[in-house]
Each structure stands twice: as C-alpha cells, then as structure tokens.
Amino acid sequence: MAQTISLTASPRQATGKGGARQARFRGKVPAVIYGHGRDTQPLELEAKALEKALTGIEPASTIIELAVDGKAAVKTLIIELALDGKKVKTLIREIQRHPLRPDIIHVDFYEIHAEEKVRLKVPVHLVGNPDGVRNAGGVLDQVTREVEIEVLPEHIPDRVELDVTALKIGDSLHVRELTIPNAKILTEADLTIATVVPPRAEEVAAPTPEAATEVAEPELIRKVREGEEEEGEGAAEGAAPAKPEAKGGAGGGAAGGGAPAKPDKAEKPKGGKES
C-alpha cells in the first residue's frame, strides 16, 4: 500500500511570481491544491519539512494528509477541513525543482476522496536475476519504468513488482504480465516492460584521418624544425676548413694581431747563383 505522510500548510495571500518569491525568501515552498470542483487554492509549506517528508519515498504514489491552518482560507476549504475535524487527503501531481539546485520551488496537490478512484502512475520494480544474464552473459534492459492505473486511494500501491528470473536471451515481459490487486491498468497491454538482449560485442572503430593527424602532431613537436635543419646544413657547407698553423705563429700573431702568417721564402739551391 502507498505510504501516508502528514504535512501542515498555510494559505498564501500573495499570488503570482512576486508572492512565490516572497514565500521562498521566508523559507517556504509555494504550492496549490485543487480537485473536486474547488477553486485552486494557493498554499505555502515549510521547505525543510517538505524535503524531509519526501526523502526516500515515491511522491507520485504517496498519500499526503495536508492540514491547512489559519482563518484566512477559502470558506469551502475551512468547511472541508474543520467541520468534521478531518484532514484533506491529497496526491502530488507535480513537483518543480530549481534548474541548478535540488531545491523544491513549487508543488501541486490534488485532493482525493476515499470513495472516489484516482488515476496515477506507479513505478515498476524488476525482481530477480534473469537466466539469460546468469548463464549466457545477456543484458537486462528495462524499457518501461512506470504504468498508469485507476484505483481507490486505499489501494494505491507504492510500486509494482515484476519477476524476471526466467527470462532467457530474446525473451520479453509486457504490461499484460502485471498483476495489480484492486486496480485497473490503463497502460497499453502490449507495451514491453523488460527484455534480455545478447551481450554487446565491443567494436573497435577505425581511426579517422582527423584522429590520425591529431595523434601524429605530438611527434612533429619532437623533430627538428625545417628552418633549423636548413640553417644547420648551410652553416656546415659554408664553414671553411681549418688552416694549418703557420710557422713562427707567435711572432706573426704579435705583429699582425691574428692575421695569416706569410709563407717562408724558398731556400737557395746549393752551389748556384741567385737568378
């Protein structure tokens, strides 16, 4: 059976975006309650109490006893709540949360009566380890995670369980296999809930030309650049071979300041005259 929790709400006088912002600034969550021909009634609840109450439950299938205090409420609401000393039972139709934070920023409550059936969606919970997963390495794929039902408030289930232990590879279970006591299933009977598929083979994709280029780029960084290579070759080709050290280099170095030494005069041939 569905869980039942109790919350206390206060009528909210300021409406619209401005009134909602004021409520949030005071640590409240703006809300509305409607159903059974009543006019939509603006409310506000303690943010911390609402967050705590909704922790670990399935809001869509949880009955909430909503007590509205204060004399500023609409007359019909006061009669329904205070005349017989009863609390208004509701279902959460919508929860709005902040786009960047998990904070609840607005809640819609739908009033229900014990003798009147309601339509709502309940989660489907898979039970067991399929045969195709245990013995053939298959993968269990849950296609449908909730179904819509019509039921009296006292028979609202918190979830629907479906046993998948006997499923082999290629087998499927559908909505028609579900059994929900005291409830009418509104979801299409042929809709698949769960199936066991063959193990997915790992595919190694061939590298694209762009990927190959990106991989090769780090190698180019470690190679000698083309400009540096040409510059080094030019320097090697233009370098003159080292000259042999001239005789009397000490004297020549002192006279010429490092200029090349003059060649020695040829020796005169012995026994001849100078021509």
**86 shares a domain with 5:** yes
**12 shares a domain with 108:** yes
CATH number, residue 32? 2.40.240.10
**68 shares a domain with 138:** no
**87 shares a domain with 138:** no
DSSP string for residues in the chain: ---EEEEEEEE--S-HHHHHHHHHHTTEEEEEEEETTEEEEEEEEEHHHHHHHHTTS-GGG-EEEEEE-SS-S-HHHHHHHHSSSPPEEEEEEEEEE-SSS--EEEEEEEEE-TTS-EEEEEEEEEES--HHHHHH--EEEE---EEEEEE-GGG--S-EEEE-TT--TT-EEEGGG---TTEEE-S-TT-EEEEEEPPPPPP-PPPPHHHHHHHHHHHHHHSPPHHHHHHHHHHHHHPPPPPPPPTTHHHHHHHHSSPPPPPPPPPPPTT----
Question: For the chain, which ranges sit under pLDDT 70?
Answer: 1-3, 57-86, 201-275
Report d(CA 64, CA 211) in Å as an integer.
57
Torsion of CA 68, 34, 24, 16, to 10 degrees: -130
**30 shares a domain with 83:** yes
Residue 24, by phi and psi: left (phi above 0), alpha (psi -120 to 50) or beta?
alpha
Residue 40 lies in a domain: yes
What pLDDT score does 68 carry?
A: 64
Residue 252 lies in a domain: no
Residue 94 lies in a domain: yes
Residue 148 lies in a domain: yes
What pLDDT score does 83 carry?
A: 26
**52 shares a domain with 29:** yes
**71 shares a domain with 14:** yes
Closest CA to 138 of 55, 97, 195, 197: 197
**130 shares a domain with 96:** no
Residue 93 lies in a domain: yes
Tally the domains of the chain: 2
Q: Domain boundary at 113, 142, 176, which?
A: 113
The model's pTM: 0.58
Residue 169 lies in a domain: yes
Q: Domain boundary at 113, 137, 157, which?
A: 113
- pLDDT tens-digit series, residues 179-198: 999 999 999 999 999 999 99
Closest CA to 52 of 6, 90, 10: 6
Residue 98 lies in a domain: yes
**85 shares a domain with 20:** yes
Q: Domain boundary at 81, 113, 145, which?
A: 113
**195 shares a domain with 129:** yes
- pLDDT tens-digit series, residues 9-57: 888 877 778 888 888 888 899 988 888 777 788 888 888 888 887 777 6
Say how many C-beta atoms besides its own lie within 10 A of residue 43's C-beta: 23
CATH number, residue 132? 2.170.120.20
What pLDDT score does 212 carry?
A: 53
**85 shares a domain with 16:** yes
Residue 187 lies in a domain: yes
Q: Which domain holds residue 172?
A: 114-201
